[in-house]
Chain A
Amino acid sequence: MSAPVRIFVPCDAAALSVGAETVAQAIAETAARRGLAVDIVRNGSRGMLWLEPLIEVETAAGRMAYGPVTSSDVDALFDAGFLDGKPHALAHGPTDQMEWLKRQQRLTFARVGVTDPLSLRDYRQHGGFKGLARALELDGAAIVEEVRVSGLRGRGGAGFPTGIKWQTVREAVAERKYIVCNADEGDSGTFADRMLMEGDPFLLIEGMVIAGLAVGATRGYIYLRSEYPHALRTLTSAIEIAEHAGILGPSVLGSAHRFDIEVRLGAGAYICGEETSLLESLEGKRGIVRAKPPLPAIAGLFGMPTVVNNVLSLAAVPWIMAHGGKAYADYGMGRSRGTLPVQLAGNIRRGGLIELAFGASLRTLIEDFGGGTRSGRPLRAVQVGGPLGAYLTTAELDTPLDYEALGAISAMLGHGGIVVFDDSVDMARQARFAFEFCARESCGKCTPCRIGSVRGVELMDRIIAGHERDRNLAVLDDLNRLMTEASLCAMGGLTPLPVMSALRGFAEDFRRPAPAANAAE
């Protein structure tokens, strides 16, 4: 018998959600039945989610892609000779040559979908730990300087320069410091953190260790949302493997530096993605937002100086250390440097993960990559940046993905999620939902948010019901202003963003004939 053929079947949660597990089983059983030797590797996802389960076969001509595969396709694939990369109705040719992937600039996601997420050998073979090795040759100040030069800004939403944050923590004098990874990824339409943690967990670990070296911290926490059970399993295994291999623990890669990481689960509270609420939660308390100052960089977890960074911010650092901050800064536009992992979601034909230098337009992403709506109906609205992000109209799709360009049209980039809606959407209902979500998820500390969101739901109900519309729309306007100006954090402060953008771009939805009273829900 010849050497087993390597077949890649993703173990990413999105791939599993559409049947990757049964496909893996069907391949194993069919191969056994036919007396063929196969080696099934469970990789992360390439991010072409509409093609999941996307399986790949390693051939002399490279990795060949087939998808979306169901277990009932497996026999036919064997018959067609897919083990030799032969054609089939589901074949896409060499994976690396697929347009959708070829047009991307994958720095952070370079390994995701390519390697076995829990194989240190794969990780090293594909450039892993080069950034950490370089960081170990430098002092903390030099690491911080490299990150500053890269222009990296926080990918969690606020876009704060990572180098400056690290410098503040580095300069703080304290007996202990912490690195906290914000893996709460609460925004609807986002899944890049999840894909990275499931598809390349050692990259996040490497990024956290480098952050620890930079600021002089020896302990890290990953605050992971409880909605991600698959990521929890992968991270837990990866940390264990890294400890055994001497990457984590008392002597990082044989150096005099210590670094330990613990995963902590959130508990279904959106507000715990806000960094100070997250710290309260890590301390075992209610996730009530803290007033700033003091900044977490000065007095964060257990009162100690703390770096709080999003998964993608930390995961960008190993590349920056390996290739230099300057090389990273060469990508991008304006003050948005480097690449952004965009998540294309909602009613979209070809949804998934697209890592590109900042500056691509929404239209390029939605039309060229995305292929328009999944339903085939006309596209009507696009929400960018999660539940606190604005709804944009088709006239705004030429806006480039850039922190400042989106800010200029009263929108925000957030964590890079793009949610597409077709023309069946009712924007008055979406505005109502924005308030409803805020009412449910508000931490309750300040009145404009706690009470304002409830009032917002009531107002929207009256407006939808056609009750004194002009008067209620005027009150809505006041409420939006009050919440924007007087809320303590961005939860209450930005909830008016989706509402006002809906009013601005889709005014007709707020003036529809009132539904008949008995037809109302």
Chain B
Amino acid sequence: MVPYSPWDIAAAQAIIAPLAARKGATLPILHALQDEFGYIDAAAIPLIADALNLSRAEVHGTVTFYHDFRSEPPGRKVIKLCRAEACQSVGSERLVAHLKQRHGLALDATTADGELTLETVYCLGNCALGPSALVDGELIGRLDETRLSALCGCRAGAGDRA
């Protein structure tokens, strides 16, 4: 995955300006910022509010409503693991337990070394070939413990992250 840029006000403004003229531009702007920086820095909120003539509270309210928008930079790799019903039926919860028990990895968290962010998602539209995950934007089907460990940068069954 392309590494994210460090937060930069001038760069953020350059992203916001051309999008601001669109109707209902808040989400397109937030997506563009997150694509660039990996998260929505708190300092982006007044910039968006100014550009769109909204109150900061409105922009803040929008940012926090949506699960997608992070308030912290993610790890170098992002794995979104599906935990919706169709994936449950083929063992997604077993995978969650495996991550926790074998590797000490928790969902919806970033590892202390900043290598890996694991996120919960509900359905990736791959429900006949689950369990599924989106790994840095790449869809993976029929996940099992071994593959997931490898994706997380761990050996299957090994106690800790390598």
Taking beta carbons and an 8 Å cutoff, which residues of A are in contact with B? 13-14, 16-18, 49-50, 52, 185-191, 193-194, 226-230, 264-270, 281-287, 302, 343-348, 351-352, 374-375, 383, 387, 417, 419-422, 425, 430, 433, 437, 441
| Closest chain B residue to A227, Cβ basis | B124
Q: A347-B89, A433-B88 are in contact. Are A186 and B122 (CB under 8 A)?
A: yes
Interface size on B, residues (CB 8 A): 43
B52 within 8 A of A: yes
Q: List the 8 closest A-B pairs by CB distance, nearest first.
A: A351-B128, A284-B26, A17-B141, A188-B84, A267-B66, A345-B127, A268-B67, A346-B89
CB contact between B130 and one of A346, A352, A425 (< 8 Å): that residue: A346
Contacts A227-B134, A268-B67 known; A49 to B128 CB distance under 8 Å? yes
Say yes or no: A387 contacts B84, CB within 8 Å.
yes
| B56 in the interface (beta carbon within 8 A) | no
On whether the beta carbons of A264 and B122 are closer than 8 Å, the reply is no
Let me know if B123 and A302 touch, CB within 8 A.
no
Among B7-15, B57-65, B110-118, B152-160, the stretch in contact with A: B57-65
Smallest CB separation, B91 vs chain A (Å): 9
Chain A: which residue is nearest B29 at the CB level? A284
- Residues of B whose CB lies within 8 Å of any CB of A are 23-28, 30-31, 52, 58, 61-62, 65-69, 80, 84-90, 121-130, 132, 134, 137-142
A383 contacts across to B, CB distance below 8 A: 85
Check B86–A270 contact: CB distance below 8 A.
no
Q: How far is the CB of B65 from chain A (nearest CB, A)?
A: 4
In the assembled complex, 23 residue pairs joining A and B whose CB atoms fall closer than 8 Å, in A order, are A18-B141, A188-B123, A193-B125, A194-B125, A227-B80, A227-B124, A227-B134, A229-B134, A230-B139, A264-B28, A265-B31, A266-B66, A267-B27, A268-B121, A269-B65, A269-B67, A270-B122, A286-B61, A346-B128, A346-B130, A347-B89, A419-B85, A421-B89
A287 CA to B86 CA, complexed, in Å = 25
Q: Which label, helix, strand, loop or mixed, suits the secondary structure of the A interface? A: mixed
Are A302 and B23 closer than 8 Å at their CB atoms? yes
A346–B86 touching, CB < 8 Å: yes
B66 neighbours in A (Cβ, 8 Å): 266-269, 287
When distances are taken between beta carbons in the complex, the residues of chain B under 8 Å from A227 are 80, 121, 123-125, 134
Partner of A14, one of B23, B26, B89, B126: B126
